[in-house]
Chain A
Amino acid sequence: MGCFQSKVTRQYPGHEDPITLASQTAFSVSEVEALFELYKSISSSVIDDGLISKEEFQLALFKNRKKENIFANRIFDLFDAKKKGVIDFGDFVRALNVFHPNVSQEDKMTFAFKLYDMDGTGFIERNEVKQMLIALLCESEMKLADETIEAILDKTFLDADINQDGKIDIAEWQNFVSRNPSLLKIMTLPYLRDITTTFPSFVFNSEVDEVAT
C-alpha cells in the first residue's frame, strides 16, 4: 500500500485492515467487510464520526437512543476494549467474534463471566446478581416479592457457588455453565453466519482484491 491512505481510514478512525481482522477472528474477509456495512450504519446514526457511541449502540439495540439498560451498558463497556468511550471497527469485529457460532464455548463462557462480573473484581458476587435480577424485573415489568428474589438468589448460589463463599469464581462459573448450557445461548448469534447475505452491498465497497477473500 505504501504511503496511500485510503478514504476508509480517514473517515473511520481505528479502522483496521479486513485481512488482518479476518486472521484474528472466525470471520472471513468478506464477512468482515459485510460487518463494516453494519458498522457504518450504526456509527453514523447519531453523529457521523465513524465511531459507535453509547447512544448509537443503544439506538441500534432498542431503536430508542434514550433507553438506559445496565446490560446494554455492560456489553458496550466490553466492546469498548480500549476504554475510549466509543467502539471502533476493530473493537466491534473482535467483540462480535465471541458471538460467532464457530467460536469455542470456552471463549463464550469467559465473555459471559466478564459480562456478569459487573464490578470487575474477578468474581460474580451475590449483590451483582441481585442488582441484575432487579434490573431485569424492572425492564420486563415483572414484580416479585423480596422473599422470592432472595429464594432465587439462594437457589442459584447453592448450585453455582460450590465453596459457598458468597461469590462465583471463574472455575465455579465454568462448572455451572457446563451443567446449564442454555445460559450461553445468548452468546451465539446465528445472524453472523449469514452476514454477507444480510449486507450484500459490501461487494461494491470492497477494498480487498478478490484473491484475498
Chain B
Amino acid sequence: RVPATMNAFELISTSQGLNLSSLFEK
C-alpha cells in the first residue's frame, strides 16, 4: 500500500531504471 502522504520523488527513485548498480553486476 502506498500512502497518499508519500513524497512522489521517493516513489520515483525506487525505479529499476534509476538503479545504476545493476550496470556493475556481471
CB distance from A88 to the nearest CB of B (A): 16
Interface residues of B (CB under 8 A from A): 2, 4-24, 26
Contact with B along A113-155 (1 / 0, CB 8 A): 0011000000000000100110110011010100010011101
Q: Is the interface of B mostly helix, strand, loop or mixed?
A: helix
Q: Which of B18, B21, B24 contacts A75 (CB 8 A)?
A: B18
Q: Smallest CB-CB separation from B22: which chain A residue?
A: A61
The reply to whether B8 and A71 contact each other, CB–CB distance below 8 Å, is: no
Q: Name the residue in B6, B8, B26 with the highest tally of chain A Cβ atoms < 10 Å from its Cβ.
A: B8
Contact count band on A: 35 or more
The reply to whether A180 and B9 contact each other, CB–CB distance below 8 Å, is: yes
The reply to whether A140 and B14 contact each other, CB–CB distance below 8 Å, is: yes
Q: Is the interface of A mostly helix, strand, loop or mixed?
A: helix
Known pairs A42-B23, A60-B23, A139-B17; A155 contacts B12 (CB<8 A): no
The 6 closest A-B CB pairs, nearest first, are A71-B17, A151-B4, A72-B17, A69-B17, A156-B8, A191-B24
The reply to whether B20 and A99 contact each other, CB–CB distance below 8 Å, is: yes
